[in-house]
Amino acid sequence: MTENSMTDTNSSFDLAAELKAIVGNQYTLTDEDKTKPYSQGFRLGGGKAYAVVRPGSLVEIWKCLQACVKADVIVIMQAANTGLTGGSTPNGADYDRPIVIISTMRIDDIQLLDQGKQIVGFAGSTLFGLEDTLRPYGREPHSVIGSSCIGASIVGGVCNNSGGALVQRGPAYTEMALFAQVTADGELQLVNNLGIELGSDPEEILTNLQNKTYQEKDVQFPDKLGSDNEYHERIRDVDADTPSRFNNDPRRLHEASGCAGKLAVFAVRIDTFPIPEKYQVFYIGTNDPAVMEQMRRDMLSTFKNLPVSGEYMHSSSYDISKKYGKDSYLVIDKLGTKYIPKMFALKRTVDRWAGKLKFMPSKFSDIMMQYASQLFPNHLPKRMEDFREKYEHHWIVETSNDGVAEAQAYLENFFKNNEGDFFACTKREADQAILHRFVTGGALTRYHIMNKKDLGSIMTIDVAFPRNERDWFEELPKDIEDKVAVKMYYGHFFCHVMHQNYIMKKGVDAKAVKKQILSSYDARGAEYPAEHNVGHEYVAKPALRDFYQKTDPTNRFNAGIGGTSKLKNWQELSDEHTGCGCHK
């Protein structure tokens, strides 16, 4: 198979020409320097794509899928490409078919249902956009700004069971979605499980949804979930010997939810939630991990009102985020979240042009932004900085309504007899603390870019510890500790979901070290990944692998995810297989 002959049944079929006819020349990318921002992962992974298409409507997505199925190529559905495990890009070269990436970010519509109590989010809609859309209605999303996925999409979150920072709501989940699926017979079909009557023909359904031509009477309210309605109870069970949430959890694998791109998801219908009338953020510091754990257990098991969230930062994360997340912090703080997609687009353009000049360093935009950020004064408030000098462990606990007074009274009493301290944040301090935590994930990548000549590779883990785990803070064995140059710990502490990121010393085999660490987690009953999904960094466990095969029986979509087969019909790679010529 060649790059210009994209079918084994019709050698004259030109897939690139077909895609251009559907979405236009401007939105069909085939030059490698233009496809690279889409074919390379946010933090890791990447490979070559035959083409990247950027459709402007749901019908255009459908037509692109029809062309790709006809040409017998692999399809990767991609939204913001902000994932941390490489799960929305190609990975390596050992595929048996060319790859087409369908980027959905031009299709970012959000439609309100039932006065904003539910929404329909299109394939490229983002959490940022959803927050803005819901604010006038006094509602907010199932998830709020995450720790690392700047500009994350709604559909991407659902497909990866992501999120869960909000302890009352859990990970993104819905049983109502509109998606395309390739059957075991190789036929493309559209499945409308949105609970909205939109017609019967695929193009009719997609057009009616896009144009919102349906009436109020066409919206049904089926006995299907639009969010995880059990999570607030699960998280309170602090003595359970299983984690509260993790990607492999069969309890929350359903069609689009958890599919990791094994379906082409056009839209999802999800619940929204009332904005609390009163908020208060408490900033907590301690040097004793056992103190943190006791507070967690008390708040979850004895509080009448569950806290909203509890974001943890180790002092090393605090410092790295302060220096290497500063530019992202300043952009969001001064310009707002709406500017983030523009910033990423500008970065891609700068890096693409810089890449054409041999004397320019790779990741030039990051280097430029890092130096520019250091021209600005310290952006963090004095009380946070004072706590950084005193304490190793930092916990940002957000409470609401009646939970504010409950938490205030508890913390005042708790710290009479326990090591550590807390303060109630002003509105400005709360925004600064949460934003500082928000930019942490990207800060590690920046740190590595700026210091990579002295460092080995990045190795990241997101792990969910059992709810009854008390020894949550990692102490590495000396033989592993000696191989690590930088450690960065942060996470969603109420959920016992920790992001444990490392940069190896030069010459260290990061995969071997990771295998050692993960085996220790297995022995403790932990689950991984917790929320970023397997991508191309983890091996899908049996329940998840079986779900992928059932969902995508011919292995048409996002082949190879979770260490599974990259070959058609889930064949295994033979020693003689060299892959498709266009990937060499």
Higher pLDDT, 351 or 487: 487
Task: State the pLDDT at residue 575.
Answer: 43
> How would you label 308-343 residue by residue, b for 16+ Cβ within 10 Å and e otherwise?
bbbbbbbbebbebbbebbbbbbbbbeeeebeebbeb
Of 12-16, 272-276, 372-376, 470-474, the range with the lowest mean pLDDT is 12-16
Per residue in 158-188, pLDDT (tens digit) is: 998 887 678 888 889 999 999 999 999 999 9
For residue 296, the surrounding DSSP H or E stretch is helix 289-302
Q: Is the pLDDT of residue 579 over 60?
A: no
| 134-138, 277-281, 332-336, 447-451: the lowest-pLDDT one | 332-336
- Tell me the per-residue pLDDT of 495-506, one tens digit each, with 9 for 90 and over: 999 999 999 999
- Kindly state the percentage of the chain with pLDDT values over 70: 94
Instruction: Dig out the tokens for 214 from the structure.
Output: 């349906």
What is the C-alpha to C-alpha distance for residues 372 and 522, in angstroms, rounded to an integer? 43
Residue ranges for the known binding site are 79-83, 87-88, 146, 153, 163, 260, 265
- Answer whether residue 313 shows pLDDT above 70: yes
pLDDT digits (tens, 9 = 90+) for 567-576: 999 998 554 4
> CA 325, 327, 328 angle in degrees (round to 5)?
70
User: How far is the C-alpha of 148 from the C-alpha of 21, rounded, in Å?
Assistant: 36
Residue entry with tokens 């907590």:
284
Binding residues for FAD are 79-83, 87-88, 146, 153, 163, 260, 265
Angle between helices 315-324 and 427-438 (to 10 degrees): 90
Predicted confidence (pLDDT) per residue in 216-259, tens digit: 999 999 999 999 999 999 999 999 999 999 988 888 999 999 99
Q: How confident is the model at residue 537 (pLDDT cuts 50, 70, 90)?
A: confident
Q: Determine the Cα angle at 283 with ends 281 and 287, to 5°.
A: 155
Mean pLDDT, rounded, of the chain: 91
Supply 364's token pair: 């030039």
Domain ranges of the chain: 18-275+539-571, 279-523
The pLDDT, as a whole number, for residue 580 is 36
How do residues 94-136 score in pLDDT, each as one tens digit?
A: 999 999 999 999 999 999 999 999 999 999 998 888 988 999 9
Instruction: Give the tens place of pLDDT for each residue, 3-60.
Output: 434 444 344 479 999 999 999 999 999 999 889 889 988 777 789 999 999 999 999 9
What is the topology classification, in CATH, of domain 18-275+539-571? 3.30.465
- Region 509-537: mean pLDDT is 92
Quickly name the fold that domain 279-523 has. Alpha-Beta Plaits (3.30.70)
> Is residue 393 helix, strand or coil?
strand
- Where are the extended beta strands (E) located within 387-505? 393-400, 421-424, 458-464, 484-492, 497-504
Average pLDDT over every residue of 317-335 = 94
As a whole-number percent, the residues of the chain with pLDDT over 90 amount to: 75
The pLDDT score that the predictor gives to residue 519 is 93
In sequence order, what are the residues at sequence separation of 6 or more whose Cβ sits closer than 8 angstroms to the Cβ of residue 398?
279, 280, 281, 282, 307, 308, 309, 310, 430, 434
pLDDT above 60 (res 2): no
